[in-house]
């Protein structure tokens, strides 16, 4: 509670909040977004933003902007509070095996696990889905299905059990499979596509020479050709996507990768910056500035292709940054929000039933919160290991606690912060990379290019709030 100053004539009235950046007035931060005409003004706690013509900034700060903020601040604060602390789990990242047939440079799952780990038996997998079904009935609204994403390691190594689960629980979950694509034969593709299962595959570059640098099998052989064969089999299906991991090995090829994805009619992709949770990834960590430069060039290329062909290639992780600004509650991915979605919107399940806040923690025993077959889920979600993640807030991290874009970035990722930088209350591996993305996002908004980077119909059913329409 704010204290008021006591004077010799009694209690002084508190500030009425009429002035920006003093007393109870709104704390506005001005950001140079690199645009010729506009700067951004942000109130960080509520994620309130506006783009103001450079020549009108002083007028805005002393007039329309604080008034508009006062009008909407309560609503936006509630929205952010619910988004950050009020959601309940509705998805599980389900690892049906510890093993993988690949040994990618930057994998966050320990090598011993991937090489000689265990599978979950079909019986246990079905039992696990039964437990999850019962749990989600208590957390997910009736008009929504919870999501199960078979994830890895490589889930297709335990294909029979995975497919049995999808078959038996088809009406109870929306299923997805994230796979390295090397085992996606025609039969597997038919099975998954006939059941509307979302399929995510991985490819880092448009050529074998570059793609095979980071994604290869245990003999060191790249798997580029296998992935392309799987892409051919998936062509024409709406429910697939490709993930590219940005590293020092492929960042110079991102623009050509966009051309490649677009020419192959990839419905959507993710271009995720490398996670530096395990030391093996550090060798291919790009600098923030270089990664941002190449990533933004690739995003520009998606827009050029959209203008030329009328067909979009949304880059999901960047689309999410845009949404975090223009429609915070519509964001789909929960890495770039604080606390992140780990342990509160979703959790990860290991093949022995052990539960972790996120797949990123599966190799880190300290973050095991319990076991699905032995503990009830709410008690695991409330466990100390889960609280370490769900309690990690930008307000407790420097420089995030004074950063204007803290709710557009979220200071990812806790696993990285803990392993790379030694504590939960540290930043992750990248900071400037996110700064540049947000600045770029604001420039797109200023130039009215937003729709070219988001899915068609992205704003359907949403309510509008015009925050300021005059100065």
Please tell me whether residue 193 binds other proteins under the rule CB under 8 A. Answer: no
- Minimum gap (Å) between residue 438 Cβ and other proteins: 15
- Minimum gap (Å) between residue 199 Cβ and other proteins: 8
Q: Is the peptide bond before 413 cis (omega within 30 degrees of 0)?
A: yes
Ranges assigned E (strand) in 61-156: 91-94, 147-150
Ranges assigned E (strand) in 102-234: 147-150, 174-179, 198-202
Answer for which of 97, 178, 277, 425 binds other proteins (CB under 8 A) is 178
- Minimum gap (Å) between residue 14 Cβ and other proteins: 27
Nearer to other proteins, 38 or 224 (CB): 38
- Minimum gap (Å) between residue 327 Cβ and other proteins: 4
Please tell me whether residue 259 binds other proteins under the rule CB under 8 A. Answer: no
Non-local CB neighbours of 192 within 8 Å, separated by 6+ positions: 166, 177, 199
Answer for which of 243, 290, 297, 431 binds other proteins (CB under 8 A) is 243
Helix 122-136 to helix 159-168 angle (10° resolution) is 40
* Lookup result for tokens 């002035």: 19
Please tell me whether residue 434 binds other proteins under the rule CB under 8 A. Answer: no
Judged by CB under 8 A, the number of residues near other proteins is 85
Please tell me whether residue 93 binds other proteins under the rule CB under 8 A. Answer: yes
Please tell me whether residue 285 binds other proteins under the rule CB under 8 A. Answer: no
- Among positions 13-32, residues that touch other proteins (CB under 8 A) are none
Are the C-beta atoms of 337 and 393 separated by less than 8 Å? no
Helix, strand or coil, per DSSP, at residue 32: coil
How do strand 370-371 and strand 354-356 relate by DSSP bridges?
antiparallel
- Minimum gap (Å) between residue 218 Cβ and other proteins: 21
Nearer to other proteins, 223 or 468 (CB): 468
The piece of 4-12, 68-76, 389-397, 416-424 that touches other proteins (CB under 8 A) is 68-76
The piece of 9-17, 56-64, 126-134, 416-424 that touches other proteins (CB under 8 A) is 56-64
Are the C-beta atoms of 239 and 174 separated by less than 8 Å? no
The piece of 125-133, 369-377, 393-401, 459-467 that touches other proteins (CB under 8 A) is 459-467
Are the C-beta atoms of 424 and 392 separated by less than 8 Å? yes
Please tell me whether residue 72 binds other proteins under the rule CB under 8 A. Answer: yes
Class of residue 111 by CB neighbours under 10 A (exposed 0-12, middle 13-18, buried 19+): middle
- Dist. CA 318–CA 86, nearest whole Å: 24
Please tell me whether residue 189 binds other proteins under the rule CB under 8 A. Answer: no
Please tell me whether residue 87 binds other proteins under the rule CB under 8 A. Answer: yes
What are 66's two structure tokens? Answer: 């604080």
Please tell me whether residue 281 binds other proteins under the rule CB under 8 A. Answer: no
- Minimum gap (Å) between residue 91 Cβ and other proteins: 4
Q: Quick one: CA dihedral 395, 398, 401, 403, positive or negative?
A: negative
Please tell me whether residue 458 binds other proteins under the rule CB under 8 A. Answer: yes
- Among positions 100-159, residues that touch other proteins (CB under 8 A) are 144, 147, 149, 151
φ, ψ (nearest 5 deg) of residue 300: -55, -40
The piece of 22-30, 90-98, 163-171, 421-429 that touches other proteins (CB under 8 A) is 90-98
Please tell me whether residue 56 binds other proteins under the rule CB under 8 A. Answer: yes
- Dist. CA 403–CA 118, nearest whole Å: 43
Side-chain half-sphere of 265: how many Cα atoms within 13 Å?
A: 8
- Among positions 348-407, residues that touch other proteins (CB under 8 A) are 358-360
- Minimum gap (Å) between residue 272 Cβ and other proteins: 5
- Dist. CA 294–CA 362, nearest whole Å: 31
Are the C-beta atoms of 272 and 246 separated by less than 8 Å? yes
Nearer to other proteins, 174 or 252 (CB): 174
Answer for which of 332, 366, 374, 402 binds other proteins (CB under 8 A) is 332
Answer for which of 96, 328, 339, 363 binds other proteins (CB under 8 A) is 328
Answer for which of 33, 270, 355, 438 binds other proteins (CB under 8 A) is 270
Name residue 6's beta-bridge partners. Answer: 11
């Amino acid at each position: 509670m704010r204290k008021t100053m006591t004077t010799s004539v009694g209690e002084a009235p508190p500030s009425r909040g009429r002035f920006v950046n003093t007393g109870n007035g709104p704390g506005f931060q001005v950001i140079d977004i690199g645009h010729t005409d506009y700067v951004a003004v942000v109130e960080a706690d509520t994620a309130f933003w506006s783009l103001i013509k450079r020549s009108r900034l002083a007028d805005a700060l002393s007039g329309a902007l604080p008034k508009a903020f006062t009008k909407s601040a309560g609503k936006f604060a509630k929205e952010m509070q619910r988004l950050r602390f009020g959601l309940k789990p509705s998805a599980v990242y389900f690892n049906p095996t510890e093993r993988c047939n690949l040994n990618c440079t930057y994998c966050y799952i320990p090598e011993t696990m991937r090489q000689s780990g265990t599978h979950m038996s079909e019986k246990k997998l079905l039992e696990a889905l039964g437990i999850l079904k019962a749990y989600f009935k208590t957390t997910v609204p009736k008009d929504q299905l919870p999501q199960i994403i078979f994830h890895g390691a490589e889930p297709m190594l335990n294909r029979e059990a995975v497919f049995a689960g999808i078959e038996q629980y088809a009406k109870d979950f929306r299923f997805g499979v994230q796979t390295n694509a090397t085992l996606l034969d025609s039969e597997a593709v038919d099975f998954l596509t006939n059941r509307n299962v979302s399929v995510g595959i991985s490819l880092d570059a448009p050529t074998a020479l570059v793609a095979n640098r980071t994604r290869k099998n245990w003999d060191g052989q790249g798997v580029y050709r296998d992935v392309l064969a799987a892409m051919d089999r998936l062509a024409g299906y709406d429910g697939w996507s490709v993930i590219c991991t940005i590293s020092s090995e492929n960042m110079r090829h991102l623009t050509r990768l966009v051309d490649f994805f677009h020419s192959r009619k990839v419905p959507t992709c993710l271009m995720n910056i490398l996670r530096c949770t395990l030391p093996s990834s550090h060798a291919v960590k790009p600098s923030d500035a270089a990664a941002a430069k190449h990533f933004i060039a690739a995003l520009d290329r998606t827009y050029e292709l959209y203008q030329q062909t009328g067909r979009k290639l949304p880059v999901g992780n960047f689309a999410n940054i845009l949404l975090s600004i223009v429609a915070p509650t519509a964001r789909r991915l929960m890495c770039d929000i604080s606390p992140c979605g780990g342990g509160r919107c979703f959790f990860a399940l290991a093949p022995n039933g052990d539960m972790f806040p996120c797949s990123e923690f599966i190799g880190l025993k300290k973050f095991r919160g319990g076991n699905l077959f032995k503990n009830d889920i709410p008690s695991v979600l409330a466990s100390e290991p889960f609280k370490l993640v769900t309690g990690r807030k930008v307000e407790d991290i420097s420089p995030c606690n004074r950063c204007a874009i803290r709710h557009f970035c979220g200071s990812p990722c806790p696993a990285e912060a803990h392993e790379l930088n030694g504590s939960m209350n540290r930043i992750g591996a990248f900071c400037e990379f996110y700064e540049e993305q947000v600045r770029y996002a604001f420039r797109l908004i200023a130039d009215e290019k937003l729709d070219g980077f988001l899915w068609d119909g992205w704003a359907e059913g949403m309510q509008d709030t015009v925050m300021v329409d005059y100065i």
